Amino acid sequence: KIMVCSKISNRKPTNCTGTYSLSEVGKIYTWMKVSEVDPPKVIKHVYYWEGTAIATVKLKLKYASMRTWSQKTFNPLRAVGKWKVVVMTEENDVITMKKFTVIR
């Protein structure tokens, strides 16, 4: 399970609207619940803005079932527009993806 949100509270995602205002939100989180993993594993969250890869965050999966997340702080000069976060294996196989939009 994957969610993009503007806040994590008690290890749960909140405000998962899909559209985020730059004036209200300085960063977003990509939250995941993984299960049936053969640990240890590493996955990547690759953040794309307008089709260009902007950031990659590596996450270590230590348990067969766990919650984890990454965060992306917005650069005000390159934030407004269409975004997606792609979840990949270390070998660059795509697991899943989530799209979101940042507005002024």
For 15-65, the pLDDT digits (tens) are 999 999 999 999 999 999 999 999 999 999 999 999 999 999 999 999 999
Q: Which string of b and e fits 3-20 if b means at least 16 CB within 10 Å?
A: bbbbebeeeebeebeeeb
Whether the pLDDT of residue 8 is over 90: the answer is yes
As given in the structure block, the two tokens for residue 104 are 């002024």
Residue among 25, 29, 24, 32 at smallest CA distance from 4: 29
As given in the structure block, the two tokens for residue 52 are 């260009």
Q: How confident is the model at residue 77 (pLDDT cuts 50, 70, 90)?
A: confident
**What is the share, in percent, of the chain residues with pLDDT greater than 90?**
96
Residue among 44, 50, 41, 53 at smallest CA distance from 95: 44
